[in-house]
Structure 1
Amino acid sequence: MVSLFAAAAAFIVLHLLVSGTVVRDGLVRRLGEGPYMGLFSLASAALLTWMGFAYGAARGDEANLAFWGVTAGGRHLQYVLQLVAVIFVVIGLTTPNPTSVKQEQILQRPDAVKGMLRITRHPFLWGVSLWAAGHLIVNGDVASFLLFGSLLVLALAGTVSIDAKRRRVLGDAWAPFAAQTSNLPFAAILSGRQKLRLGEIGLLRPLASVVAYGALLVLHPYVAGVPALA
C-alpha cells in the first residue's frame, strides 16, 4: 500500500506542480520543448506503470479496507459511464483541438470550434474523469481510491491547468476560443454560446468508440485480472 501511495503522490506532483505551471515554462526554456515533452512523457509512463503494479499488489494487502461494495445498480451505471467515457476519449483524441499538444495553430482556423469541441474543449480529460469515477463506483477499497481517485483528480485539475497554460502562453489568441467553448460538458450549449451539431462528429468516430468499448469489455479480464461483465 505504501508503494501505491508513493506512486500516486509522485504522479500528482509531476502533473499539478510541473505540467501547466511556470515550472514547466522554466524547464522548456532550459531544455527546449521537444526534450521536455520527451522527458515528461517518459516520466508519466514510468509512474503509471509503477501505479499499475503497485495497485495489483495493494489489492491483496490487509490494509486494503473496503468502504463500499458493488451493487446491481452501481454495476449498470458503471457500464453506461464507461461507454460515455470511451466515446469522449476516442472522439477527443481524433478531433483537432488547440488544447492538445502542438495543435495551438488550430486557433487560426475559422472553424476551430467544431464537433466535439462544441460540447467541451477537453473531451479526452472528461473521458478519463468518467472512466475513473465509474471504477470508483464499483471499487470501494483503499487501493482503488488511491489509483482511480488520483486519476480523477488529475483529469479534472488538468482541464483547469491546460486552460491557464493556454491563456498564459497564447494571450489574446486564446480568448475567442475560450469564449465560444466550455470546460464543463454542454455548458456552452446550455448557455446559448454554442449549438449541438452531431453531424460534425460524423459516424466513424462514434462507431470506433463502440468497437473500442467492446474490445475493452473482452480484454478486461486479461488486462485487469477481473471480468468487466459479471
Structure 2
Amino acid sequence: MDPALTVLIAASIAFVGTHFVLSHPLRAPLINVLGATGFMLVYSLVAFATLGWMAHAFGQVQGSGLGGSGTAGWVIATLLTLPAMLLLLGSFIRNPALPAPGAKEAARREPAGAFRITRHPMMWGIALWAISHIVIWWSWRTNVVALAILILALVGSKLQDGKKREQMGEAWAAWEAKTSFWPRWSAMPSAGALLWLAAILGWLAATYAHIHVGDVPAGVWRWVQLG
C-alpha cells in the first residue's frame, strides 16, 4: 500500500474516532473537569487538528487512478447530490438537535420541511454527499475520506439520538416518535417549494464551484457547456 494512503487512513480514523470519543464517553467527564467552555475549546482544537491532518494527507495521495464508474456513476452522483443539498439546507430550520435556545420547544412542534423526511437531515445530507463520491470511484484518497465522512454522519446521528434523550428527555422522545431516522423518500415533495428552490440554486452553485475547486465538472455542468 502507498505509504501516503496509509497516513490518510490513519488521519481519517483519528478524525472520526476522536469525534466519537469526545462527543460521547468523554464528554461528561471532560465538562466536569474543564467546564463547558473549556471542553468546547479542546473539542474544537482536536477537530481542527485532525481535520487539518486529513486534508494535508489527502493532498499527498495520487488524485486519480481508479478509472471511474463512467457516465452511469456521474448520473447517480448527480441525482444523489440534489436531495443532499435539500436535506443539508433544511437542517438549519428549526432543528431541535442544534445547540440553540428553544430546542425543546422545537422538538415539540410537528415536523416540517426536511424533518418530514428524516430527523437527521444534516447527517443524511452529508452521507449522500459521501456516497455520491464513492459511486464515482475516482480515487482511493476520495474513497477513504468519503467513507470516513459517511461513518461519521450515520453512526454519529444514531449516537446523537441517545445523547439527546439524556439531555432533552421527554421532548426528544416525542420528537423521535414523530420522525424517522431512515429517510422517508416519498416525503421529499412535501419539504416545501421555497426549500426546494434554495436547494436547486445551492446545488447548481456548489456543483459549478466544483469545476474550479476540484478541477472536475460535476452535476449537470458535466454535460452543459458554458461559453
Q: Name the TM-score, length of structure 2 as normaliser.
A: 0.83
Q: In the TM superposition, what whole-angstrom CA distance separates every residue of 1:58-113 from its partner, at most 9, and x where no partner exists?
A: 125xxx863x63221111111010111111111112x111112235x332355253
The structure 2 residue matched to 1:15, chosen from 16, 19, 26, is 19
Q: Could you tell which deviates more after superposition, 45-54 or 84-93?
A: 45-54
Counterpart position of 1:27: 30
Q: State the SS of the aligned residue for 1:32.
A: helix
Root-mean-square deviation (Å): 2.4
Question: How many residue pairs get matched?
Answer: 215
CA pair 101-154 structure 1, distance change in 2 beyond 3 A: same
In 2, Cα distance between equivalents of 1:118 and 1:34: 34
Unaligned residue ranges in structure 2 (runs of 5+):
223-227
Unaligned residue ranges in structure 1 (runs of 5+):
none
The structure 1 residue matched to 2:134, chosen from 133, 136, 149, is 136
Verify the 8 A CA contact 1:115 1:197 in the aligned structure 2.
Answer: no
Give me the identity figure in percent: 31
Question: Offset at 1:140?
Answer: 4.8
Q: In the TM superposition, what whole-angstrom CA distance separates every residue of 1:14-71 from its partner, at most 9, and x where no partner exists?
A: 122221x1311111222222332343234323333332232222125xxx863x6322
Q: State the SS of the aligned residue for 2:109.
A: coil
Q: State the SS of the aligned residue for 2:91.
A: helix
The structure 2 residue matched to 1:49, chosen from 39, 49, 52, is 52
- The answer to whether the aligner puts 1:107 opposite 2:110 as a matched pair is no
Verify the 8 A CA contact 1:129 1:155 in the aligned structure 2.
Answer: yes
Question: Offset at 1:115?
Answer: 2.5
In 1, Cα distance between equivalents of 2:188 and 2:138: 36
- The answer to whether the aligner puts 1:117 opposite 2:128 as a matched pair is no
Counterpart position of 1:182: 180
The structure 2 residue matched to 1:39, chosen from 39, 42, 50, is 42
In 2, Cα distance between equivalents of 1:27 and 1:138: 40
Counterpart position of 2:82: 83
CA pair 135-26 structure 1, distance change in 2 beyond 3 A: same
Verify the 8 A CA contact 1:133 1:152 in the aligned structure 2.
Answer: yes
CA pair 57-86 structure 1, distance change in 2 beyond 3 A: same
Q: Which amino acid aligns with 1:33?
A: A
Verify the 8 A CA contact 2:133 2:143 in the aligned structure 1.
Answer: no
Counterpart position of 1:97: 95
Verify the 8 A CA contact 2:127 2:150 in the aligned structure 1.
Answer: yes
Verify the 8 A CA contact 1:91 1:206 in the aligned structure 2.
Answer: no
Q: Which amino acid aligns with 2:118?
A: T
Counterpart position of 2:225: none
Q: State the SS of the aligned residue for 2:95.
A: coil
Verify the 8 A CA contact 2:104 2:168 in the aligned structure 1.
Answer: no
Question: Offset at 1:206?
Answer: 2.1
In 1, Cα distance between equivalents of 2:73 and 2:177: 36
In 1, Cα distance between equivalents of 2:99 and 2:51: 20
Verify the 8 A CA contact 2:90 2:113 in the aligned structure 1.
Answer: no
Q: Name the TM-score, length of structure 1 as normaliser.
A: 0.82
Question: Offset at 1:197?
Answer: 8.1
In 1, Cα distance between equivalents of 2:31 and 2:199: 35
Verify the 8 A CA contact 1:128 1:155 in the aligned structure 2.
Answer: yes
The structure 2 residue matched to 1:156, chosen from 137, 154, 160, is 154
- The answer to whether the aligner puts 1:206 opposite 2:196 as a matched pair is yes
CA pair 22-210 structure 1, distance change in 2 beyond 3 A: same
